[in-house]
Amino acid sequence: MTSLRAFSRDDEGSMPLAMLLILISVTLSAVMTPILLSQVQSTRTDVRRVHALHAAQAGIDVAMAYIRNTQDKLNDRIGLLNLLPCWGYTGLGGTPAYEGKVDGSSTARYQVSVEYYKKDPRNLLTTLLDRVSCSLGIGPVETPKFALLKATGTDTGTGAIGSTATRTLTATYVFNITNANIPGGLIHVYRDAVSDDLCMAAESGLPTPGRNLRVKKCDYSDPSQIWIYNQYLMIVLSSTRTTDKPLGMCVEMAAPQTAGKNAVVNDCTAVTQPRQQWSTNDSANLQGTTDGVNLNGTCLVVQSPNVDGSNVVGGTCGGPYNNVHTWSLEARVGAGSAGLTTGQVVNFSQFGRCMDITEVNVNKGYLIVWPCKQAPDPNKVLWNQKFTMPAINPLTNSGTGPVTTTNPTTGVKYCLKSPGSTAPGRYVTVTPCPTIPTVDLLWTFFGHNVNYATSYILVDYQLNCMAPTDPKVDKYGSGENVSKIVMAKCNGSTGQKWNAPPNVQMLFPLKDIHED
């Protein structure tokens, strides 16, 4: 009995405990249900936001694909401005922002606009004036360096984008730009105070092969007057370089090259032929070669001086300067074969011109940037354009020492001398080299380094850079806008670069990607 009573007492209070547990469960259910529903709704919202972000990313990808699909079909390294999209330039002759769907089965959509800039648009307050206008079918009015891409994505299939839940991405596209010089310019006949400005010309921009070479009144808009002087010493009519004729048409005179024989324009040969090689000699003549090694005695001359339409024929070479046998090639025509391998110092901005001891006179008082002299055998280029630069250390990409040239007749070695000043009227000269060079004869030549602005510059002891003068302000009296050589504060410009190859900015195309 005692044990039964004890057992029954252990069961007392179970029912109230059970009721309490039930009450707690019901209460928790009431509290958790809205929380769970809220979480479900939040999850749905998060999923839609993720979809909207993916849509914005798709918009950036589409814009980048359109930009990268603007290559010239004949040269996929060149982009065509007129193919660039003008999305978002509605007030400037462009089109509205581009809209599209992520895929056919999704409701996600995007809207993307593209703006072009001359400077990095990272700080829009300072670059707003550098925005490049864009018109449909024409593209940007000038070559941009950056494109600002702005894409807005949404997960809703209808309605105006922006009126529903959206996410927006912004990115900067960096154009792959080269500063490679594109040759093509006029070849002037020497002009005095009373003669007309005449230039070498073909029959037309696409002449019949074998037609006579002539001179015409100089006109930059006339394709029959735009010539390229290539590394094989061939004078090429720029407009004739086509898909069918990639080599173009060249100035030619058949052998034997004699006085009075007509020069013609004919198809350039794949293998260089002496009849198409012309060298700018020490008297500013264009001189022929018979064997492709030595210069012959025939030069291109104007048959009827100062007559528009006169033929160009074979004639005598030499000086003095006149409007018969003296030619002045614009810097844009090209440097021919001149460069580091020939011992010449070519200016990058005036890329058909070389450092030159003026009139082969070491006492002239200044050096000039003169049309680069040529010869089929580069060893025969006159010494006043041939210089030995300081050897570049591959570890530092620079070299320090004198810049020298030697007169082979006298055996005197001359050193390039800095004026030690950037003041107007202070010029770079040459002087006989002493046994121990003084500081004004020491130069540092920088080769290629990670910063292109400080590559291919010639720096003196005052840390200034060698540069040509602006011919509009200070020029040599003869020739066509011939600059003198001075020192200037280093600024990274192409005018301060010597024997420089083109710089190609190989950059990852997208940067500064962020969500607004």
For 15, 105, 238, 261, the CA distances from 19, given in Å and listed in that order, are: 6, 53, 100, 124
Tokens 């059970």, residue? 18
Q: For the purposes of burial, counting CB atoms within 10 Å of the CB of 277, is it exposed (0-12), middle (13-18) or buried (19 or more)?
A: buried
Q: How many CB atoms lie within 10 A of CB 380?
A: 14
For residue 285, what pLDDT band results from cuts at 50, 70 and 90? very high
Q: Are 234 and 276 in contact (CB under 8 A)?
A: yes
Helix, strand, or coil here: 12? coil
451 — pLDDT class (breaks 50, 70, 90): confident
* Average pLDDT value for residue range 461-482: 93
CATH topology for the 337-502 domain: Trefoil (Acidic Fibroblast Growth Factor, subunit A) (2.80.10)
180-334 is classed CATH 2.80.10.50: yes
Mean pLDDT of 408-435: 98
* Degrees, nearest 5: CA angle 41-44-48: 140
Question: Are the folds of 180-334 and 337-502 the same?
Answer: yes
Q: Locate the domains of the chain by residue range.
A: 27-175, 180-334, 337-502
At residue 188, the pLDDT reads 96
- Residue 485's SS3 state is strand
∠ CA 477-425-444, rounded to 5°: 105
Per-residue pLDDT, averaged over 199-228, amounts to: 96
Lowest mean pLDDT among 154-158, 172-176, 225-229, 434-438: 154-158
| Comparison of pLDDT for 296 and 7, the residue scoring more | 296
Q: What is the CA radius of gyration of the chain?
A: 36
What is the full DSSP assignment across 369-437? EEEPP--SSGGGS-GGG--BPPPPBTTTTEEEE--EEE-TTT--EEEEE--S--STT---EEEEPPSS-
Mean pLDDT of the 322-351 span: 93
User: What is the percent of the chain where pLDDT is above 70?
Assistant: 86
What is the rounded (10 degree) CA torsion for 229, 234, 240, 244? -130
pLDDT exceeds 50 at position 1: no
Compute, in degrees rounded to 10, the torsion defined by CA atoms 328, 331, 337, 340: 130
The percent of residues above 90 in pLDDT, for the chain, comes to 57
Q: For the residues 417-427, what does the mean pLDDT come to?
A: 98
Among residues 327, 214, 199, the alpha carbon closest in space to that of 264 is found at 214
Tell me if 215 sits within 8 A of 361, measured CB to CB.
no
Give the pLDDT score at 8: 45
- Going by pLDDT thresholds of 50, 70 and 90, the confidence category of residue 76 is low
CA distance 301 to 287: 10
The partner residues of 313 in beta bridges, in order of sequence, read: 262, 301
* CA 97 to each of CA 40, 100, 158, 235: distance values in angstroms, whole numbers, following the listed order: 35, 10, 17, 48
CA-to-CA dists, residue 170 to 99, 128, 337, 399, 488, angstroms:
16, 16, 47, 44, 41
Backbone angles phi, psi at 56, to 5 degrees: -65, -40
Confidence of residue 136 (pLDDT cuts 50, 70, 90): confident
Query: Which pLDDT does position 98 carry in this prediction?
Result: 87
